[in-house]
Amino acid sequence: MKLFVLVVISCVSIYVGYLCSKKYKVRANFFQAMVYLCQKFDVEINYSRERVKNIFLGLDEKQKNKLKGIDINYLSFIDKEAPLEKAMLFKDINFLKEEEKDLIFMFFKGLGRSDVDSQSKEIKNFQNRFETLSANANNENKKYGSLSIKLGFIAGLFILVVFI
Partner 1 sequence: MLKKILPNDIYEIINSKVNYKVVNEIRLRADKPIVLILGSQRVFLGQNGITNNLKYAIYSSKIMVEDVIFRASECSIYSVNEQLKKGYLVTKGGIRLGIGGDLIEEAGKVKTMTNFNSVNIRLPHEIKNCSLSAFNYIVQNNGILNTLIISPPGAGKTTFLRDFVCQLSERNYAYNVLVLDERGEFDLGASGSIGNFADKISFASKKIGFENGIRSLSPNLIVTDELGQKEDVEAVLYATNSGVSVLASAHSDTLENFIKKPSFEELISNKIFKRYILLSQRNGPGTMEGIYDENFSRLR
| 2 or 80: CB nearest partner 1 | 80
Q: Which of residues 76-105 bind partner 1 (CB under 8 A)?
A: 78, 80
| 114 or 139: CB nearest partner 1 | 114
Q: Which of residues 145-164 bind partner 1 (CB under 8 A)?
A: none
Task: Give the count of residues interacting with partner 1 (CB under 8 A).
Answer: 17
Please answer whether residues 45 and 120 qualify as being in contact, where contact means their C-beta atoms are separated by less than 8 angstroms.
yes
SS3 content of the chain, % helix, strand, coil (to 5): 80, 0, 20
Handedness of CA 47, 53, 54, 55 (dihedral sign): positive
- Would you count residue 114 as binding partner 1 (CB under 8 A)? yes
DSSP 42-96: HHHHHHH---HHHHHHTS-HHHHHHTTTHHHHHHHHHTTSS---HHHHTTT--SS
Q: Which of residues 25-64 bind partner 1 (CB under 8 A)?
A: 45, 49-53
Q: Which amino acid is at 85?
A: E
- Residue 24 has φ and ψ, to the nearest 5°, of -65, -40
CB of 74 to partner 1, least distance (A): 10
Which of 111, 127, 129, 156 is the binder for partner 1 (CB under 8 A)? 111
Q: Report the interface residues with partner 1, using CB under 8 A.
A: 45, 49-53, 78, 80, 111-119
